[in-house]
Amino acid sequence: MSSVSENYLDSTKKQFAYYKSLGDKTFAQLTDEEIHWQQNADSNSVSIIVKHIVGNMLSRWTNFLTEDGEKTWRHRDTEFEDTYTTKVEMIAAWEKGWQYLFDAINPLQAEDVSRIIYIRNQGHTVLEAITRQLCHYPYHIGQLVYIGKLIRSDEWKSLSIPKGQSSTYNKEKFSKTKSKKHFTDDL
Give me the pLDDT at residue 182, please. 82
| Residue 2: predicted pLDDT | 65
**Is residue 176 assigned to a domain?**
no
Q: For residue 162, what pLDDT is reported?
A: 86
Domain membership of residue 151 (yes or no) is yes
Is 177 a member of any domain?
Answer: no
**Where do runs of H (alpha helix) occur along the chain?**
4-28, 46-61, 87-105, 126-152, 166-174
> Tell me, what's the pLDDT at 181?
81
Q: Write the pLDDT tens digit of every residue in 25-65.
A: 999 999 999 999 999 999 999 999 999 999 999 999 999 99
Q: Is residue 95 part of a domain?
A: yes
Flag whether 149 is in a domain. yes
DSSP SS3 for 66: coil
Question: What pLDDT does residue 120 have?
Answer: 97
Q: Does residue 168 lie within any of the structural domains?
A: no
In a domain, residue 142? The reply is: yes
Residue numbers in the chain where pLDDT is lower than 50: 1
170 in a domain, yes or no? no
Query: How many folded domains does the chain comprise?
Result: 1
CATH number at residue 107: 1.20.120.450
Domain that holds residue 148: 4-160
Buried b (16+ CB within 10 A) or exposed e, 3-36: eebeebbeebbbbbeebbebbeebbebbeeebbb
